Amino acid sequence: MALWGSRWRKPLDKTVEDFTYSLDFDKRLWKADLTGTLAHVIMLNKIGVISEEELKTLKKEIKNLYLEILNNPDLIRDSEDVHTFIEENLTKKIGDIGKKIHTGRSRNDQVVLDLRLYLKEEACNIAELLIDLRKVLFDLSEKFINVPMPGYTHLQQAQPVTLAHYFLAYDAMFSRDLERLEDIYKRIDVMPLGSGALAGSNIPLDREYTAKLLRFSKISDNSMDAVSDRDFVLEFLFFSALVYTHLSRLAEEIILWSTKEFSFIRLPEEYSTGSSMMPQKRNPDVAELTRGKTGKVIGNLVNMFTVVKGLPLSYNRDLQEDKPSLFSSVDELKITLKVWTGFLSHIEFNIDGMYRFSSEDFLFATDIAEYLVLKGMPFREAHKVVGEIVRFCEENNKKFRDLSLEDWRRFSDLFDESVFSLLTPESSLKFKKTYGSPNPDINREVIKKRREEMKNT
Ligand code: ARG
């Protein structure tokens, strides 16, 4: 029977029972629910609602149920939701004492407590996975700190960068994601129990004590908001969508790089798939699925916004729909971060091929314009002069490298012998002065700084 059944004369219609049932997905909150229940009864004992004897029995039965479920998770069935399942099972074992555990508590504050406990733990797991991924990016950046590759804008060859610079660009995204997660954590870490159904309780529950037992940093200060607030879920779903979007961009890069046309990388066998028909194929399924699953993870955020946007205060059953979205994003994010950490560390890079493309000499056009600026020419004029040189080269089927000093000086007498030292990717990188540029010396500093910052996460 439902927890609220005493006033009802007729049983719930079977279709409604099926329609409202949430145990299938909320059963994963069983540990959080038992932990919250344990803290609640310890607090009830402290304020004199439960005797020492009763507390002892409750503790024992909570522990037993914990172990039973741990050994046999299939035990969780036949109840409307996980909270009902746990309360019913405790009551079945210890009769009247079990009936006391819901004192001053509603499933409305209980469900949000469970969700917060669950998410605190998962946020820490995900932070660790992000750190693992970032470590791989740092290692790759160190390894390829001097390896030139072409950088693109509009997917057209632009200027030489390094493979390290590419990885550090993605790491910059993940470092912001980690920072965001830390910030969101503060708002997950709020203890709602004691808010009751919506208006608190007449029983003097010691909320601070419950918070301390459950290691929450603070307690909520408005009971209506506490039972209806899902901002922390929305924030987490946004965070997941953004991490996933970053991974999806990286995925797109990998897919492109693995094509015959680019041939910048070779996909590791353990992380790619073949074709059932074309024997020569090696497909980037990990990257493609990441790109594909991004739709679902962004969808989870949109779903939750849509659930919340028209809700009056306070708790409404609509809020039960927060869980499938949240669990889906947590699961996808965890496995995806894990798979990318392994995937990236196994990719083979075609360093020679990247070098060849980064040596295409029009990639040095901007360096040449800046060379003229450093010799005193206004930038617009320098841009025009180099544009003319490019046109000359194209029309005469020449490269910058084929030009003699005389040729250069026909366009500007500011050119001297030193112009020849500009025409390799190494010099292009070495001459970069600005912090944040691909200059390997600067990137070494950046890696050091980021590793340091990450340690304090
Ligand atoms: N299963 C519900 C949820 O996930 C919690 C129960 C609250 N139900 C209620 N009718 N007050 O939000």
* Poorest-pLDDT segment among 8-12, 121-125, 236-240: 8-12
Could you say which DSSP state residue 286 is in? H
* Atom number in ligand 1 closest to CA 80: 1
CA-CA distance, 121 to 242, in Å (whole number)? Answer: 20
Domain 108-356 has CATH 1.10.8.60: no
Q: Assign 205 to helix, strand or coil.
A: coil
CA-CA distance, 21 to 98, in Å (whole number)? Answer: 23
With pLDDT > 90 as the criterion, what percentage of the chain qualifies?
91
* CATH, domain 10-103, list 1.10.275.10, 3.60.15.10, 1.20.1050.10, 2.130.10.10: 1.10.275.10
pLDDT for 6 equals 73
CA 29 to each of CA 7, 131, 258: distance values in angstroms, whole numbers, following the listed order: 28, 26, 41
CB–CB of 191/216 below 8 Å?
yes
Residue 107 Cα to ligand 1 midpoint, Å, equals 6
pLDDT for 4 equals 67
Compute CA 283 distance to the chain's CA centroid, rounded to the nearest angstrom: 25
Residue 456 tokens read as: 């304090």
Any atom of ligand 1 within 6 Å of the Cβ of 366: no
Strand pairing report for 218-219 and 190-191: parallel
So where are the chain's domains?
10-103, 108-356, 357-444
Whether the pLDDT of residue 3 is over 90: the answer is: no
Q: In b/e form, how buried is each residue of 327-338, taking b as 16+ CB within 10 angstroms?
A: bbbbebbeebbe
Is residue 154 annotated as part of the catalytic site, yes or no?
Answer: yes
Helix axes 163-188, 107-143, angle to 10 degrees: 160
CB–CB of 289/370 below 8 Å?
no
Task: Give me the residue label for tokens 């993870």.
Answer: 297
ipTM over 0.90: yes
Name the pTM for this structure.
Answer: 0.95
* Atom number in ligand 1 closest to CA 315: 11
Per CATH, which fold does 357-444 belong to?
A: Ribonucleotide Reductase Protein R1; domain 1 (1.10.40)
Short-list 112, 96, 22, 26, CA closest to 61: 96
Residues 6+ positions from 375 with CB-CB distance below 8 Å: 414
Residue 320 Cα to ligand 1 midpoint, Å, equals 6
pLDDT for 281 equals 75
